[in-house]
Structure formats: structure tokens, C-alpha cells
Amino acid sequence: MLYTDTIKDPAIFSRCYKKGKRIHGPGVTAYCFFTNRPYNAFGITAGKKVGGAVQRNRAKRILRAAYRKNELLLPIGYDIVIAAGQDIAGKKSDSFDGFFKKLSLELTDNRK
């Protein structure tokens, strides 16, 4: 990913959940926290409600591919955590293009 680092610290996940802006989409919820760094940090969570390990890993792969495809739309300087929901199982990464466009609009409007 070009302008993105991976979130590995549980404290960053918690900060995004507690203080971040929530944006809901079809089968996903994004938590975004503005950090003013020269890059984005990206993390994905998929709980047991999504399904077994195979379904959770598939959900994460789908969301990672959708993020990679739409990375240039998003403004720089955010920690972004995407939580997969139950109804993500049968979808493809192309079905999240609209969600990432909505996310990008919300984040650019939030900066102003």
C-alpha cells in the first residue's frame, strides 16, 4: 500500500473505537481518527459473528483489496480501522467501492 502503514498496536485500535468518527456502510463500519501524520494507518477487525476463521480471513482479504484499490481517494493523516459485519460473507471487493468513496467524502468534509 502506497501511503499506508499497518496498525498493530491495540492502543491505536482502542483510540479509533473510542474517539474516532464512525462511518457505516453495507456490512462494514469504519472508525477514523485524524493524526496529522504524512501517511495513513490501516487496520481490519473481523469478530466471531462474521463466521469461522476461513470466513473472517476472507472478509479481511476482501476489505484489504478494496482499500488498496481506493487508497488514493482517501485523505492522508488518518488512523482507519474497518470492522467487518455479519453480511460481508458473499460480497466481492468491488462492492465496497461506493463505501470507500463515501468514506473519502466524509473525511475530507470533516477536515474543513
Strands (E) in 1-112, as ranges, are 4-6, 21-25, 28-34, 40-46, 78-84
Query: Would you state the pLDDT for residue 71?
Result: 92
User: Can you list the residues of the chain whose pLDDT is less than 70?
Assistant: 1, 110-112
CA end-to-end distance (rounded Å), the chain: 26
Query: Would you state the pLDDT for residue 93?
Result: 82
DSSP designation for 8: -
- Reply yes or no on domain 4-111 having CATH 3.30.70.270: no
